[in-house]
Amino acid sequence: MSRDYFQTEIARHIWNSKYRQREADRIIDHDVTDTWRRIARGLAAVEPEDQAQWEQRFYEILEGFRFLPGGRIQAGAGTARRVTLFNCFVMGVIEDSMDGIFDSLKEGALTMQQGGGVGYDFSTLRPRGTYARAAGTVASGPVSFMRIWDTTCGTLLSTGARRGAMMATLRCDHPDIGEFIDAKRESDELRNFNLSVQVTDAFIEAVRKDAEWPLVFPAESIQGHEGETINREWPGYAQAIPCKVVARVPARELWQRLMRATYEYAEPGVLFVDRINRMNNLWYREHITATNPCGEIPLPPYGACNLGSINLTQFIEHPFEANARVDLQALTATVTTAVRLMDNVTTASRFPLPTQRDQAHHSRRIGLGITGLADSLILLGLRYDSDNGRAQAAEIMRTVCHGAYRASIELARERGSFPAFEKEQYLQGRFIEQLPRDIRDDIARHGIRNSHLTAIAPTGTISLLANNVSSGIEPVYDWSYQRNVRAPDGHMEQYALTDYALALWRERGDAPMPDTFVRAWEIAPEAHLDMQAAMQPYVDSAISKTINVPPDYDYGRFQSLYETAYDKGLKGCTTFRENPVTGSVLQATPTATHCCTIEREAD
């Protein structure tokens, strides 16, 4: 009799509704082992030799939910469907013309139709009320055009396409930054978007000095405002260009406007864009101004990345015992195989646009991360918000990171480096310089297959699939609660959820839970931030993490969280405080959706 890998009904529902292969009314995947075999076979098929051996090795890391590929991989690998296996895209630079805007809209629609989440930088669009030099028309501003994207995404949903997810970013010195910050104040505005402000080092410095802050736009694109001009780097230009100073505002007032917005309705988030670019392994050929919808993958124009997560709960030996430990050797072995599987995804995948294919093949980026961290710490007898808990989490991520880089070097010896690899420049990258000496020496000798290797995604859907392990690096939301999940025909079904670690604890009897069982809202916001900071040194892309903030949290303490995130070396910060506009993160019938719930995640 075959083993039933589903310990929860919601896991069975997720598999059946999202990842089980059917052809019309004919069922192809009779059980989840058929799904794992399909994925393994489909990705081993691009191996030039020993395909049966690699199929078996891929199957072994998939079995029992040890490794969880991104949702598009699970749904599409090994099928004949003309779909992308990539979850994450950043679209091209939006040209500031009607033709350019609607060409970009079309590209985004085609990408979302195939299941990709998309990110856009709207900074190239002229500010509201300015005149174009060429056409003499008055601009309505980037936020007005974002509403067209939002409607398009909603229309695609109504046709039965996968739910859309989009990220919009805007520079902190764009003249319409105030309107962008306030754009989601109403609960029905831009519901298919997450918003993030590109915050520069210069802006943080101006905030701290209480200095004036210039709002600018490329001088060649607008008429009027014939006064002061300053040079700025701007998306769509290869080097700094003259920009007209449209206005000057107190930097601290603008920062306060941003802080008040995210305190009151949880958006926009913040991207520390200069750090993103400084720490980019491809610093010598890319300039990044946007991310995928949940923020864990900063990407250049037309950039793409596939995702996968190691389920840490499957590597804990002797859970709840005094000798509980992480099997780091088994973890490293799984990482090694997962890197090869994910590299094969790049080869096997289709892409909505040729430009996306070219970018993906040029860098061969992958985003290997972890999930189930909070449950794993509980199994190890460690509190999420303790120094020991953070140290253990950092050791795990260091193992994943260094194992992934070593695996990618071995792949380069076999298959060659990614096409955009330039040894001297790559080795000068700030993240690369922090790697152990043996890894850097081996990159110098053999090259590396993938430009980037690690990212930590929210994993809401695939964590439910893995029997409700905690999501990504987030704490456990709650021990038991009701969850509404959308069925394939669109209606909502309700499931009772019990956290994975608690279910395992209850198998031991009815002893009271120790204090290592801690929920998200019982953890101080500063401790959330500390966990993200502990992991960031081993993540070459970024981390999707929500800093949970109690409703009664003091605003003065709240606004300091973002400066603390900057000082701790993070690439971005997102907070969530329950509020009347967006409701709560996991309530049964949310009035609006938040960036890191499974209702927004590009699964």
Report the alpha-carbon angle 274-117-336, nearest 5.
75
Active-site annotation holder among 55, 267, 296, 601: 296
CA distances from 278 to 283, 285, 394, 564 (A): 7, 12, 22, 19
| CA 152 from centre of chain | 22
- According to DSSP, residue 265 is labeled H
**Residue found by looking up tokens 């040729």 in the block:** 354
Burial of residue 446 (number of CB atoms within 10 Å: 0-12, 13-18, 19+): middle
Beta-strand relationship, 229-232 and 241-250: antiparallel
Token pair belonging to 179: 């309107």
Residues in the chain: 603
Tokens of 146: 């974002």
Residues 6+ apart with CB under 8 A from 169: 119, 120, 121, 122, 123, 195, 196, 197, 198, 271, 289, 290, 291
Report helix, strand and coil shares of the chain as percent, to nearest 5: 40, 20, 40
Read out DSSP for 296-356?
S-EE-TT-EEEEEEEEGGGGEESTTSTT-EE-HHHHHHHHHHHHHHHHHHHHH-B-SSHHH
d(CA 50, CA 399): 28
d(C-alpha 409, C-alpha 414), whole Å: 9
Phi, psi dihedrals of residue 573, rounded to the nearest 5°? -150, 135
Q: Residue 425 is encoded by which pair of tokens?
A: 């420049």
Write out the two tokens for 100.
Answer: 């350019």
Q: How far, in Å, CA of 386 to CA of 384, rounded?
A: 6
Q: Measuring CA to CA, which residue among 521, 483, 520, 499 is closest to residue 598?
A: 483
Q: At what angle do helices 387-415 and 437-446 cross, to 10 degrees?
A: 20
299: which 2 tokens? 């990407």
Task: Look up 63 and say whether it is catalytic.
Answer: no
In terms of DSSP bridges, do strands 212-218 and 241-250 run parallel, antiparallel, or are they unpaired?
antiparallel
Burial 253-291 (b: 16+ CB within 10 A, else e): ebbeebbebbbebbbbbbbbbebbbebbbbbeebbbbbb
Active site residue: 294, 305, 573, 595, which one? 294
Is 573 labeled as catalytic in the residue annotation? no
Catalytic residue among 292, 306, 311, 468: 292
Decide the pairing of beta strands 166-171 and 117-121: parallel
In degrees and rounded to multiples of 5, residue 482 shows phi and psi of: -95, 140
* Catalytic-residue membership of 281: no
Distance CA 50, CA 177 (A): 55
- β-partners of residue 231 are 242
The catalytic residues are 292, 294, 296
